[in-house]
């Protein structure tokens, strides 16, 4: 079985991002970039499935600027067999990415697509669901456990009331949650091996996909700063302030 794993290049989760002075977006100049943490979990899960003999090939995919090659090399250092870069300088929104992945799904015919439930830069949580709709495939989001057997995927997912277990016919779309696994440390020998693994570069027009943005960002602003807290002498004073000053009671 072939597994397709989309990965996204985002600002590193340790970086404190800043809004541009003209409020058109986030300033990424001289900012450390890395693989989206949820996508890293997806790559790790695909590699574990291959180690268990369930998968035969793992294909990592990234869409965006040429610098996304670094993210693909990281995925291959974790254990992906080859990479595909869909190179474009356009702003890619979830629908455009889902259309690109649909075209690649038709081209590669994988038995399973595993991707992060959301990216930490835009937090959209849309790409996996849109891909499932476009491809007409079953989906299981927020997976905390994935098992493959007898041509079906058994996925345990986190819901508000606890855990839900779904059985999906393959091929299927699975999006990963934080508790699915802990990605392995990438060793230097594997980084060197990843440089020799094949990587194909395509353009959106090669796949017949229009990636023009459908949504315009009007303004990006930082959240308001929280005011300093105060101490109250007793519960009666707290209730009074909540009722008369905060107006929440």
Polymer length in residues for the chain: 249
Q: Which value, in Å, is the radius of gyration of the alpha carbons in the chain?
A: 21
What does 17-37 look like in DSSP terms, one character per residue?
A: -EE-TTSSSEE-TT--EEE-H
What pLDDT is attached to residue 27?
A: 86
Distance of CA 135 to the CA centre of its chain: 18
Q: What is the pLDDT of residues 90-133, one digit of tens each?
A: 889 999 999 999 999 999 999 999 999 999 988 999 999 999 99
User: Quick one: which of 110, 105, 2 has its CA closest to 58?
Assistant: 2
Q: Which pLDDT does position 225 carry in this prediction? A: 83
CATH topology of domain 2-244: Rossmann fold (3.40.50)
**Claim: this prediction has a pTM higher than 0.75:** yes
Q: What is the pLDDT of residue 92?
A: 92
The tokens of 187 are what? 């060793």
Gap between the Cα atoms of 98 and 90, Å rounded: 15
| Per-residue pLDDT tens digits of the chain, which is 249 residues long | 999 999 999 999 888 888 888 888 888 888 899 999 999 999 999 999 999 999 999 999 999 999 999 999 999 999 999 999 999 998 899 999 999 999 999 999 999 999 999 999 889 999 999 999 999 999 999 999 999 988 899 999 988 888 999 999 999 999 999 999 999 999 999 999 999 999 999 999 999 999 998 888 888 888 888 878 888 999 999 999 899 888 887
Rounded CA-CA distance 69/23 in Å is 29
Domain ranges of the chain: 2-244
**What CA–CA distance (Å, rounded) separates 74 from 80?**
9
- Helix, strand, coil shares of the chain, percent, nearest 5, are 30, 30, 40
């Amino acid at each position: 079985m072939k597994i397709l794993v989309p990965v996204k290049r985002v600002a590193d989760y340790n970086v404190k991002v800043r809004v541009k002075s003209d409020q058109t977006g986030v300033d990424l100049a001289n900012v450390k970039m890395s693989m989206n943490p949820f996508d890293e979990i997806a790559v790790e899960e695909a590699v574990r499935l291959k180690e268990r003999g369930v998968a035969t090939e793992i294909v990592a995919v990234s869409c965006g600027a040429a610098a996304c090659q670094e993210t693909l090399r990281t995925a291959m250092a974790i254990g992906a067999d080859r990479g595909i870069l869909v190179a474009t300088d356009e702003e890619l929104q979830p629908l455009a990415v889902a259309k690109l992945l649909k075209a690649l799904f038709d081209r590669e015919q994988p038995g399973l697509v595993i991707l992060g439930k959301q990216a930490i830069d835009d937090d959209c949580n849309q790409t996996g669901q849109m891909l499932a709709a476009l491809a007409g495939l079953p989906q299981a989001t927020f997976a905390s456990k994935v098992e493959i057997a007898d041509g079906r995927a058994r996925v345990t997912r986190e819901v508000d009331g606890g855990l839900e277990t779904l059985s999906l016919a393959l091929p299927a779309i699975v999006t990963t949650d934080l508790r699915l696994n802990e990605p392995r440390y990438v060793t230097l020998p594997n980084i060197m091996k990843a440089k020799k693994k094949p990587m194909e570069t395509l353009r959106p027009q090669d796949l017949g996909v229009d990636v023009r943005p459908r949504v315009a960002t009007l303004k990006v602003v930082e959240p308001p700063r929280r005011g300093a807290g105060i101490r109250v002498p007793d519960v009666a004073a707290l209730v009074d302030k909540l009722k008369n000053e905060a107006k929440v009671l």
